[in-house]
Chain A
Amino acid sequence: MTTLNYDDIADVVDTVTAGREDAIATSSRIRIVKLDRRQFLKMTGAVGGGLMLSFSAPKALSASSSDAFQPNGYVKINSAGIVLYAKNPEIGQGVKTSLPMIIAEELDAAWEDVSVEQSRIDQAAYGMQFAGGSTAIPMNWDALRRAGATARAMLVEAAAKRWNVSTDSLTTERSHVIHASSGKRAAYLDLASEAASLPVPSADSVSLKDAKNFQILGKRITGVDNEGLMRGEPLFGIDQNVPGMKYAVYQKCDSIGGSVVSANLDEIKTMNGVLDAFVLDGNGNAGELLPGVAIVADNTWSAIQAKRALKIEWDESDASKDSWSNAMQEAERLRHESGPRVVDTGDVDKAFDDSTKQVSGFYRYAFASHAQLEPENCTASFKDGQLELWAPTQTPGAAIMSAAKVVGIQPNGVTLHQTRCGGGFGRRLYNDFTCEAAAIAKRAGMPVKLQWTREDDMAYDLYRAGGFHQMHGSVDEGGKITGWRDRFITFTNDGNRPVSGGGISPNVFPGGLLENVRVEQTALEWKNRCAAWRAPGSNVFAFVVGSFLHELAHIASRDHLDVLLEVLGEARQLGPRGMHTGRAANVVKLAAEKAGWGRELGDGRGMGIAFYYSHAGHIAEVADVSVTADKKVDVHKVTVAADVGPIVNLSGAENQVQGSVIDGLSTMFNLAVSFENGRVQQNNFDRYSLLRMPSAPEVEVHFVESDYPPTGLGEPAFPPLAPAVYNAIFEASGHRARTMPISEEGYSLA
């Protein structure tokens, strides 16, 4: 079985991101530029291929205990009720509800009879347990259906034995087995002990429902934790409280990589409520434990007060000197030079020579922080060589491995209790906070809840990397796009390959669709860590390519919708995990039709459209906006058409799409972090302005329910929003904005 460790996570996120499975390999042919020396250090060789993913199968545990029917790790039935286990972390994507819905459907249970519990973290039993890459639904769809169907088959078998009839004469409905000819009915609860004594059939042998008979899937089901949230129950990591627990904070160097020379520990220890204060040296892995000063106190407030009173002398000789203004200057220089080609199909130079019209545009996007609303925290207890963690993590398996390493025990000495996560967006794929909690609990000799402040959270994030694209394109006499060149400048943390989200491949839309495409790639060395951020790569590439397609449509004096459909061409599948152009064209047409594309809107108002394929989701969005002379933008409505295969939970799916649109707007208008002398310049929400309710537009969502395999919806509805709105702003104002956030060009939301 594959177990994730820290270094693999970025690979996995890239790898499981459908359509970009070769991003890692192709991204290896880039040049690396050291910012302060302005010279090319190296061209890296090919790196290994992507990771193999293990797909989880519902491994049968020792069939059943005496009092409960437990045919696998997902279903437990006894006289008290039906419990279904949700295997993956809940970060707001809705899997604690949607995954059990899949089990309940094939179990043929009535949803109101079911209660849902978070499963234990046990990758031997459950396969990979993580939240990332919108993968929970596609990776578990079949296994969970079979888990439910296996339990159902055994309950039917138990009823057949009890009534001495054939299983063929029995049906199930709403948590009951029914023998129609005799009118007998038995509740699953009453059959549980008999089913428990039966052998568990192979999951491959059970039959699955026809989709037309689904009773639960595709319906609107409300979240299983909704009432608990409304009653203030302790669902999140931050809410945990264990016996003897104290409260910890941890101060690291503002510039990543700095180490502690000295600190006023004696003074801190005299402060009200402070129990202990000590230096941790770090373990040399920024993804696990950076050097810093830990404070343990009687309560969070005392700990925060003591942290503010810390006086630490840092050795910053190896610390980050990252500067966004330097990076921008360097990109300004590099955009005029050709770089190594990571994609080169057809003959781009000839296409440009033969073209009728050409257009260029220099696109730029800033770094962004995850800003999940629950600041990082973890509760840890280290006793008798055993570590116990209560962790709001997206990757519990990796958290166990890295924490074990930090405290010097074997992974089987770690128990991790998965909590609900107050947002994730990719931040909690990385387990620095769990490692810190483990190290502090061990050193302090008492259970601690480590609490990051918002300032910690923004200073030590793994950011969505900024980037630059010098675009150049051409059209022929008939207005058809003939040449496409993207001179891409990104960042590298390790000096070898681009950061997660900075790898570009031939499959990146509209790659594979145009005849003559060239992508050149350069990476600037960067110390502050960058990593997966909701729809990695796609979240920025969509902005650039979706906008530039519109620029080409404009110079050709053609309707963007027509050009988009022409680029998609005839219906076909592009590679095994690539997009399907027919599905793409369907959602493009549907979004346009529902938005009333082409109707007269009046001065200062315009519509923009964009399509993007990511995470196996085909999604088109149309934005309808007004723009004033002083660049105030009123987004009247966003219309979304999505094909993600069958919908699991209609309520959750619609919520994810609406939330993605709002997150997309928030990000394209206002979100930027910048760095000077290695330090993040925005450390709280007063300088990182997340969108608020008055700016939330109407969002209309349409799903094309296709028979293709299902995919997740945490990410794919995010990327098309920005280009749709940028294009609408151009239609409304005649001004082409090429900077994200667009506030850097003077725009604001009305």
Chain B
Amino acid sequence: MNIKINGENRDLGAIDPQTPLLWALRDELGLVGTKFGCGISQCGACSVLVNNASVKSCSFPVSSVGDAEVTTIEGLAESNGDLNPVQQAWVDLDVAQCGYCQSGQVMAAEALLRTNPNPTDDEIDQAMATNICRCGTYIRIRQAVKTAASHLAASE
């Protein structure tokens, strides 16, 4: 099986097609930025983009990817290697505590901003409600989404 991840075609060999995308990324491709938290689409630690939508990769069979483009936290940086505006906002605002959920949070924020580049507070809260932060960094996540949105707006 072949899937397109972070702009590259990757060969998954004779992988069980029911394997969740999460484990294909982590165990087969070594892309460990996408995290395992619950296995039942509750926590969002495993969030990745399939095309432009945030998907819980723990419950998304690798066979369902088809021709779609998968983007993980490893594929988010700019082509020159710089962090993208969402990642940079997370670093600058020092969002993380343990940091385990944050790659999923960033992917959920990226999905929101791709479809709604200027979200209201309420839209941010609703979009990010899919992702749990056990350390409780929601106040900074909210700020970071806004900061990223304003940087994106300024660069256009």
Residues of A that sit less than 8 Å from B by CB: 90-94, 220, 222-223, 225-227, 229-236, 238-239, 241, 247, 272-273, 299-302, 304, 371-375, 420-425, 451, 453-454, 651-652, 655-656, 658-663, 666, 684-686, 690-694, 696, 698-699
Complex Cα spacing A24 to B110, Å: 50
**Chain B interface helix/strand/loop/mixed:** loop
Complex Cα spacing A360 to B114, Å: 56
Q: Is the CB of A232 within 8 A of B43?
A: no
Complex Cα spacing A360 to B76, Å: 58
Q: Which residues of A contact B54 (CB under 8 A)?
A: none
Q: Which residues of A contact B33 (CB under 8 A)?
A: 231-233
> Can you report 14 residue pairs joining A to B where beta carbons are below 8 Å apart?
A94-B97, A230-B102, A232-B103, A238-B35, A372-B134, A373-B45, A373-B98, A374-B35, A423-B98, A651-B94, A655-B97, A658-B140, A662-B139, A692-B128
Complex Cα spacing A656 to B139, Å: 12
Q: Is the CB of B27 within 8 A of A247?
A: yes
Most chain A beta-carbon neighbours within 10 Å: one of B27, B96, B132, B136: B136
Q: Which residues of A contact B94 (CB under 8 A)?
A: 220, 222-223, 226, 651-652, 655
Complex Cα spacing A241 to B101, Å: 20
Q: Is the CB of B132 within 8 A of A692?
A: yes
Complex Cα spacing A692 to B42, Å: 11
Kindly provide the distance from the CB of A656 to the nearest chain B CB, expressed in whole angstroms.
7
Complex Cα spacing A422 to B23, Å: 18
Q: Which residues of A contact B31 (CB under 8 A)?
A: 232
Q: A300-B23, A300-B26 are in contact. Are A229 and B35 (CB under 8 A)?
A: no
Closest chain B residue, CB of each to CB of A458: B38
Q: A375-B36, A454-B38 are in contact. Are A655 and B103 (CB under 8 A)?
A: no
Q: Is the CB of B92 within 8 A of A222?
A: yes
Q: Which residues of B contact A659 (CB under 8 A)?
A: 97, 135-137
Q: Is the CB of A658 within 8 A of B28?
A: no
Most chain B beta-carbon neighbours within 10 Å: one of A300, A422, A662, A663: A422
Q: Which residues of B contact A656 (CB under 8 A)?
A: 97
In the complex, number of A-B residue pairs with CB atoms less than 8 Å apart: 186
Q: Which residues of B contact A453 (CB under 8 A)?
A: 39
Q: Is the CB of B32 within 8 A of A93?
A: no
For window 1-55 of B, CB contacts with A under 8 Å fall at 16, 19-20, 23, 26-28, 30-40, 42-43, 45
Q: Which residues of B contact A227 (CB under 8 A)?
A: 83, 91
Is B106 interfacial (CB-CB < 8 Å)?
yes
Q: Is the CB of B32 within 8 A of A239?
A: yes
Kindly provide the distance from the CB of A367 to the nearest chain B CB, expressed in whole angstroms.
17
| Shortest Cβ-Cβ A-B pairs, 9 listed | A232-B33, A92-B98, A662-B136, A422-B100, A696-B138, A659-B136, A92-B97, A685-B42, A239-B32
Q: Which residues of A contact B72 (CB under 8 A)?
A: 232
Q: Is the CB of B91 within 8 A of A690?
A: no
Q: Is the CB of B19 within 8 A of A231?
A: no
Q: Is the CB of B96 within 8 A of A301?
A: no
Q: A232-B73, A656-B97 are in contact. Are A226 and B91 (CB under 8 A)?
A: yes
Q: Which residues of A contact B37 (CB under 8 A)?
A: 373-375, 454, 685
Q: A226-B90, A300-B26, A692-B132 are in contact. Are A235 and B38 (CB under 8 A)?
A: no
Q: Is the CB of B132 within 8 A of A373?
A: yes
Closest chain B residue, CB of each to CB of A222: B94
Q: Which residues of B contact A241 (CB under 8 A)?
A: 30, 32
Kindly provide the distance from the CB of B117 to the nearest chain A CB, expressed in whole angstroms.
19
Most chain A beta-carbon neighbours within 10 Å: one of B99, B131, B132: B99
Complex Cα spacing A247 to B27, Å: 9
Q: Is the CB of A662 within 8 A of B132?
A: no
Closest chain A residue, CB of each to CB of B43: A685
Complex Cα spacing A222 to B140, Å: 13
Q: Is the CB of B20 within 8 A of A301?
A: yes
Additional pairs, 19, CB under 8 Å, beyond known A685-B132, A691-B136: A229-B90, A230-B76, A231-B33, A231-B83, A232-B73, A235-B99, A239-B32, A299-B19, A373-B37, A422-B100, A454-B40, A659-B136, A684-B39, A685-B37, A685-B43, A690-B132, A691-B138, A692-B128, A694-B125
Q: Which residues of B contact A662 (CB under 8 A)?
A: 136, 138-139
Q: Which residues of B contact A222 (CB under 8 A)?
A: 91-92, 94
Complex Cα spacing A460 to B97, Å: 25
Which of B74, B136, B140 lies in contact with A663, CB distance below 8 A? B136
Kindly provide the distance from the CB of A688 to the nearest chain B CB, expressed in whole angstroms.
9
Closest chain A residue, CB of each to CB of B108: A693
Which of A232, A234, A690 lies in contact with B134, CB distance below 8 A? A690
Complex Cα spacing A11 to B125, Å: 41
Q: Is the CB of B40 within 8 A of A686?
A: yes
Which of A232, A233, A234, A299 lies in contact with B23, CB distance below 8 A? A299
Most chain B beta-carbon neighbours within 10 Å: one of A247, A372, A659: A659
Q: Which residues of A contact B16 (CB under 8 A)?
A: 272-273, 301-302
Q: Is the CB of A300 within 8 A of B27?
A: yes
Complex Cα spacing A453 to B131, Å: 18
Q: What sequence of 0s and 1s flags, for each residue 127-149 of chain B, a beta carbon within 8 Å of any chain A beta carbon? A: 01101111111111110000000
Q: Which residues of B contact A684 (CB under 8 A)?
A: 38-40, 42
Which of B27, B43, B90, B139 lies in contact with A299, CB distance below 8 A? B27
Is B77 interfacial (CB-CB < 8 Å)?
yes
Closest chain A residue, CB of each to CB of B93: A222
Closest chain A residue, CB of each to CB of B92: A222
Q: Which residues of B contact A696 (CB under 8 A)?
A: 136, 138-139, 142
Kindly provide the distance from the CB of B46 to the nearest chain A CB, expressed in whole angstroms.
11
Q: Which residues of B contact A691 (CB under 8 A)?
A: 136, 138
Q: Is the CB of A93 within 8 A of B97?
A: yes
Closest chain B residue, CB of each to CB of A235: B99
Complex Cα spacing A660 to B99, Å: 15
Q: A230-B87, A454-B37, A684-B42 are in contact. Are A694 and B135 (CB under 8 A)?
A: no
Q: Is the CB of A236 within 8 A of B100?
A: yes
